[in-house]
């Protein structure tokens, strides 16, 4: 069965769904008060997905593609996030890629597989039904699929929720590269992911060469 066509999901809804998952995990395992967010536990314990590391990606990765991970709702009889060990060097070189890939696939499971079922076509009598999800969704670098964009944003909201991120940066000089590098590593994400999230929240401004400056406080004066 094919997945339904990708639907537009506003950023606010993506963030709300990520925070809902985080809260669900907290009700089961206890309050999360600091970064990093335990994404592996969220994916496995709260979403119920198995996590497998394998280099058997022939069915999902064509020559020239870079597929870091995928979610398969029926791998060996159970829903599973598969991590592509063909790119183990990429995971090692780019700190945070592994955690982000897990969060990304968790996003697919929540947003596009509806945690195990996808809306099917109406039956002949007009009554809707739920059917097990069938296809596989991958984290493919460079993909322009709107589902990939949605899963990326979901992952950022899950790994770097605003309330925890603001606590983590309190008193830090974010214009210092060493501080930003340490912040990202301590938060379990790449420096790039950290900078993008801080910029999205308006906490920093990224210059044309990626340099970090602090935003100028708005005084409310009109020109």
Return the number of other C-beta atoms located less than 10 Å from residue 148's C-beta.
Answer: 20
Flag whether pLDDT at 82 surpasses 70.
yes
Span 53-74, pLDDT tens digits: 999 998 888 888 899 999 999 9
Q: How confident is the model at residue 3 (pLDDT cuts 50, 70, 90)?
A: low
Residue pointed to by tokens 């066509």 = 5
Residue 74 DSSP SS3: strand
Q: What are phi and psi of 47, to 5 degrees?
A: -85, -15
* Mean pLDDT confidence for 128-151: 72
108 exposed, middle or buried (CB, 10 Å; 0-12, 13-18, 19+)? buried
Please report, rounded to a whole number, the percentage of residues in the chain having pLDDT higher than 90.
72
| Predicted pLDDT of residue 209 | 82
Q: What are phi and psi of 134, to 5 degrees?
A: -115, -45
Span 162-200, pLDDT tens digits: 999 999 999 999 999 999 999 999 999 999 999 999 999
Q: What is the pTM of this model?
A: 0.88
Cβ–Cβ < 8 Å for 204, 174: yes
* Mean pLDDT confidence for 24-52: 98
Flag whether pLDDT at 124 surpasses 60.
no
- Bridge partner residues of 67 (DSSP): 140
Per-domain residue ranges for the chain? 11-119+130-199
Alpha helical stretches, state H, the chain: 11-29, 39-41, 88-93, 97-111, 146-159, 162-169, 177-187, 191-200
């Amino acid at each position: 069965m094919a997945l339904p066509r990708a639907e537009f999901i506003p950023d606010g809804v993506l963030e709300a769904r990520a925070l809902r998952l985080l809260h669900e995990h907290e009700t089961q395992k206890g309050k999360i008060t600091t970064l990093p967010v335990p994404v592996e536990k969220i994916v496995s314990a709260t979403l119920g997905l198995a996590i497998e590391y394998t280099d058997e990606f022939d069915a999902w990765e064509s020559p020239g593609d870079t597929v870091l991970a995928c979610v398969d709702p029926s791998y060996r009889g159970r829903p599973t996030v598969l991590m592509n060990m063909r790119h183990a060097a990429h995971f090692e070189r780019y700190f945070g890629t592994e955690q982000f890939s897990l969060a990304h696939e968790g996003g697919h499971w929540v947003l596009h597989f509806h945690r195990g079922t996808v809306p099917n076509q109406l039956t002949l009598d007009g009554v809707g039904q739920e059917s097990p999800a069938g296809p596989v969704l991958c984290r493919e670098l460079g993909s322009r699929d709107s589902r990939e964009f949605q899963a990326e944003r979901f992952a950022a909201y899950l790994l770097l929720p605003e309330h925890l991120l603001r606590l983590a940066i309190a008193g830090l000089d974010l214009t210092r590269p060493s501080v930003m590098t340490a912040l990202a590593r301590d938060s379990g994400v790449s420096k790039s992911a950290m900078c993008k999230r801080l910029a999205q929240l308006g906490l920093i401004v990224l210059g044309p060469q990626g340099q970090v400056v602090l935003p100028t406080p708005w005084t409310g004066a009109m020109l």
